[in-house]
Structure 1
Amino acid sequence: MLFNSYVFMLAFLPVFLIVFFAVRKVSYDDPKMRGLCKALVAGGSLLFYAPFGWKNLLALLMSIVVNGILAWLLVSRRGADHGKVLVAIAVAVNVIWLLAFKFNGVFFPVAISFYTFNQISYLVDLYRGEIEEFDLPGYLSYILFFPKLLQGPLMQYSDYDNEFEKSLKAQVDYEVLLRGLYLFSMGLFKKVILADTFGKAVNWGFDNIPTLGSLEAVLVAVFYSFQLYFDFSGYCDMAAGVCKMMGFELPLNFNSPYKAQNIIDFWKRWHITLTKFFTKYIYIPLGGNRKGMARMYINLLVVFLVSGLWHGNGWTFIVWGALHGVLYVVTRMMKDHPLTLPKAVKVAITFIYVTMAWIFFRANTIGDALALIGRMFTGGRKSIASALSSCFMLDELWYVIKVTPIMKLNFAWDICLWLFVVFAAIVVFFAPNAIEKAEKERIGVKTALLTGILLVWSVVSFAGVSTFLYMNF
């Protein structure tokens, strides 16, 4: 199920929290009962995943069974030469399993990339001794933990286990619960109201590339940048909010990436745990920066090409990865001679480059991506199409505008569009990170009212929502 669904909001989440708190109270005084709490998390997470259908559930369970057996075998063989062979086979099995689904063109299980990467991390860390023993309830709860199951963050088992132990020792704190709900409400608003509204405009734009004017083409590209931002940021906020209610802290995975001043800074802020995963399990094993500058640059390019392939199997994703990889390498080469530009200019340049690269990420073909870029320069001066503007005419906004004098102005038809653009720009470039805001904000009447407004507005808009974009990777 999705966070942005009636069944999750009104049934699963409240029931799960009540049962979790009850079992946690028993587990706190009896360490032997802690396995029951982990089993509860695993079982609840399977229930969370089951609505995606039996094919997805079967693929997940097969991955768990195979990797559980491999983990059990690794425990007795780590450190030995044949243990190295076994861990290599275990990693290869997972990579082949992932690629088989990614390239079959028929069926791609929901969240397979994320839980497969968690499997690889678990097996490698188990072999290296970073995980002391194979604990079945702990392994199951780690792989299945529903707040991070669909889109991450990718989390090492040792970090997960430490946080789980802390959550078992925590007492029910109503201020913490409210902070978690406050954070969840901000994430839900980002997804349902912002990301999905921008998504409608993006879909229209990519379906009508040949007719776009220059301004429309630029707007469609910017809209997709905003859609991705609020979709992924919204999920991260909701996942962190649910965990906070449980007394569990997820690692920061999204830290205002459009405030980045260069591409290196961007990748320290966007999908932070995926970057760390690629660094630990691909970049460093390839040699990292230990074998000379040329080898380091090649390793970086390999990582970004792998990142492109991880996101999709088309040439558009390879181009997207290459665009990021090339600029990343060039930026590393220039680190001793950085550009002396104002911060705002560097942020703007980085955002424009990232936005142009996102076009390849979204387009069905390289031809479509180049066509959209071409329309930015050849589309000519043209007013914004009513079909594009209407994507932003939410009833709750449009009705207010219709009864005001603004309706008589020439730009009235486009005002909802520009309200969304201005609000989005303020949030991504100037507003504090939602997780930091939820942590530092004084909990009182103002935050309670804001939480209620955001939740109600989002819930009544569920009928028009879509799935999260990163669930497709």
Structure 2
Amino acid sequence: MLFNSYEFVLLFLPLFMVGFYIIRSVLRTKRESAKVLTYYCLAASFLFYGLFGIKNLLVMLFSIVFNFAVLFLSDRASGSKGKKALLTAGIAGNCVMLLCFKFSGVFFPVAISFYTFNQISFLVDHHRQEEKRPFVLSDYLLYILFFPKLLQGPLMRYEDFDREKEKFFEGSLDWDVLMRGLLLFSVGLFKKVILADTFGAAVDYGYSSLQSLGSLEAVLTAVFYSFQLYFDFSGYCDVAAAICMMMGMELPLNFDSPYRAVNIIDFWKRWHITLTGFFTRYIYIPLGGNRKGVARTYINLMIIFLISGLWHGNGFTFIVWGAMHGVLYVITRMLMGNKKEIKEGSLPVRIIKTILTFAYVTAAWVFFRADTVRDAAGLFVRMLTGGKKALAAGFSSCFQLDEIWYILKVTPVMKLSFAWDVCLWGFLLVSVFIIFFNENAIKRVKTCKIGLGSTFATFVLLAWSIVSFAGVSTFLYMNF
């Protein structure tokens, strides 16, 4: 079941939240509430994931049983060597299963990367004895299956999730918090359904028409894919955070206005923050991190980015994408030396740095999106040789949503020579404002004034998104 579906928004989520609030209000003690709500959320999460199909559910159950068996045997193993051997076998088993599905090209289970990484995290922390809370099977299952974070994260350590989860066992219905959650939920859906998928349609047109693109169309195709990815992942993070907000808990920030970064290091502190943390904690540091000399540090960084590329896809284009980020990251690290703080500089300097960083990230996304290196190169060639062509009707029509286009038809705008492109440029300007000038939605919703204006915005964005569900796609990160 997708967040951006009629079943979820109109049926699953309302019924789940009503049941959640009833249970929390009826049960008087924290102990009773914790036990019943854990099983309630666990049942809802099983249902949520089970609706993706029996094959997906069976793979997930096998993964959970495998990891639980490793934990069971590890707790009963004698000696550090036996425990370490089981840990190695557990990590290897998870990785082999993930790689088999990722590179077989036959069937890729929904969310397998994220629940696999969560289980690897638990195995390692359990072995290191870093998770201090007692192991309870129902709590562990909820940690893996909790539906707001199941499909695309954020990745959380067991102890962090368990501590945060305790918050929704307490308190009562808070209408202010509920309205903030609904506002954030509507913003997230709008980003995905209206913005990301609209840009996605134009990107699909551009890549399907590489040989005929003009220079402007080629540049816009690359930029629009950057925007599509941004709003797709940002939208998911907003929706996931909103659901948890309405339950009284808080997910770790996973997306923090990354295109406002002043260099590539800053970018990776803002984009998929918890995935970066996972790679750092469980791969980079075990490889030696920065403890084995400068050369080894740079090699370790390149390994992380190449692994990141492989994780995102099995084509050579993803290797190129990872290498591009890795090379610039290493160069930036060299130039910064031992300085840990990122100096943004004066406003003009900061603007230039942000533009250059965005341009480089966008160029790397071209390889991420293209089917082959040849297609990626073809788009760059069209940027330089496409000439000054008017935007194709097929390209600009991707932005002519009926609910906007019908309004424009009765205005003087239709008399202008560029009338067909008004929606495109409107989407572009709105997106630039949101991406580069607006505050992070999760942070903003926590402090904004809740009143008539915010309620009206919630209704409009939610209604607009729901009526547009028929043409939406899955979240992009569900494919990784």
- Correspondence 1:357 to 2:358: no
Instruction: Give the 3 Å change call, closer, same or farther, for CA 283–28 of structure 1 in structure 2.
Output: farther
Letter matched to residue 348 of structure 1: I
Q: For residue 200 of structure 2, what is the aligned residue in structure 1?
A: 199
Per-residue deviation, 1:28: 5.5
**Unaligned ranges ≥5, structure 1:** none
- Correspondence 1:49 to 2:49: yes
C-alpha contact (below 8 Å) 1:75/1:134 kept by paired residues: no
Q: Distance in 2 between matches of 1:78 and 1:203?
A: 56
Q: Secondary structure at the match of 1:414?
A: helix
Instruction: Give the 3 Å change call, closer, same or farther, for CA 383–160 of structure 1 in structure 2.
Output: same
Per-residue deviation, 1:78: 8.5
C-alpha contact (below 8 Å) 1:217/1:372 kept by paired residues: yes
Instruction: Give the 3 Å change call, closer, same or farther, for CA 388–85 of structure 1 in structure 2.
Output: same
Per-residue deviation, 1:394: 0.6
Q: For residue 429 of structure 1, what is the aligned residue in structure 2?
A: 436
Q: Distance in 2 between matches of 1:32 and 1:76?
A: 31
Per-residue deviation, 1:122: 1.0
Q: For residue 155 of structure 2, what is the aligned residue in structure 1?
A: 154
Q: Secondary structure at the match of 1:119?
A: helix
Q: For residue 14 of structure 2, what is the aligned residue in structure 1?
A: 14
Q: Secondary structure at the match of 1:334?
A: helix
C-alpha contact (below 8 Å) 2:144/2:150 kept by paired residues: yes
Per-residue deviation, 1:397: 1.0
Q: For residue 3 of structure 1, what is the aligned residue in structure 2?
A: 3
Instruction: Give the 3 Å change call, closer, same or farther, for CA 75–41 of structure 1 in structure 2.
Output: farther
- Correspondence 1:139 to 2:140: yes
Aligned equivalent of 1:413, options 420, 438, 454: 420
Q: Distance in 1 between matches of 2:76 and 2:410?
A: 73
Per-residue deviation, 1:12: 0.5
Identity of aligned residues (%): 61
1:314-346 CA-to-partner distances (Å, cap 9, x unmatched) read 101010000000000000000149897711000
Q: For residue 368 of structure 1, what is the aligned residue in structure 2?
A: 375
Q: For residue 39 of structure 1, what is the aligned residue in structure 2?
A: 39
C-alpha contact (below 8 Å) 1:78/1:127 kept by paired residues: no
Aligned equivalent of 2:387, options 360, 380, 383: 380
Aligned equivalent of 1:344, options 344, 347, 351: 351
Q: Secondary structure at the match of 1:195?
A: helix
C-alpha contact (below 8 Å) 2:211/2:382 kept by paired residues: yes
Instruction: Give the 3 Å change call, closer, same or farther, for CA 397–30 of structure 1 in structure 2.
Output: closer
Per-residue deviation, 1:73: 2.3
C-alpha contact (below 8 Å) 1:72/1:134 kept by paired residues: no
Q: Distance in 2 between matches of 1:53 and 1:78?
A: 40
Q: Secondary structure at the match of 1:342?
A: helix
Instruction: Give the 3 Å change call, closer, same or farther, for CA 73–134 of structure 1 in structure 2.
Output: farther
Q: Distance in 2 between matches of 1:209 and 1:416?
A: 22
1:17-67 CA-to-partner distances (Å, cap 9, x unmatched) read 122223334556052562332222121111111221111111111111111
Per-residue deviation, 1:429: 0.4
Q: For residue 285 of structure 1, what is the aligned residue in structure 2?
A: 286
The count of aligned residue pairs is: 473
Q: What CA RMSD, in Å, does the superposition of the two structures yield over aligned residues?
A: 1.5
**TM-score, normalised relative to structure 1:** 0.98
Letter matched to residue 408 of structure 1: K
C-alpha contact (below 8 Å) 2:74/2:86 kept by paired residues: yes
C-alpha contact (below 8 Å) 1:75/1:126 kept by paired residues: no
Q: For residue 453 of structure 1, what is the aligned residue in structure 2?
A: 460
Q: For residue 212 of structure 1, what is the aligned residue in structure 2?
A: 213
Q: Distance in 1 between matches of 2:54 and 2:38?
A: 23
C-alpha contact (below 8 Å) 1:28/1:34 kept by paired residues: no
Q: Which has the larger displacement, 21-30 or 65-74?
A: 21-30
Q: Secondary structure at the match of 2:250?
A: coil
**Unaligned ranges ≥5, structure 2:** none
Q: For residue 84 of structure 1, what is the aligned residue in structure 2?
A: 84
Q: Distance in 1 between matches of 2:190 and 2:34?
A: 35
Instruction: Give the 3 Å change call, closer, same or farther, for CA 78–121 of structure 1 in structure 2.
Output: farther
Q: Which has the larger displacement, 137-146 or 74-83?
A: 74-83
Q: Distance in 1 between matches of 2:280 and 2:447?
A: 31
Q: For residue 473 of structure 2, what is the aligned residue in structure 1?
A: 466
Mapping of 1:61-460 within 5 angstroms? 61-77=61-77, 80-131=80-131, 132-336=133-337, 342-460=349-467
Runs of 4+ aligned residues of structure 1 deviating over 6 Å after TM superposition are 337-341
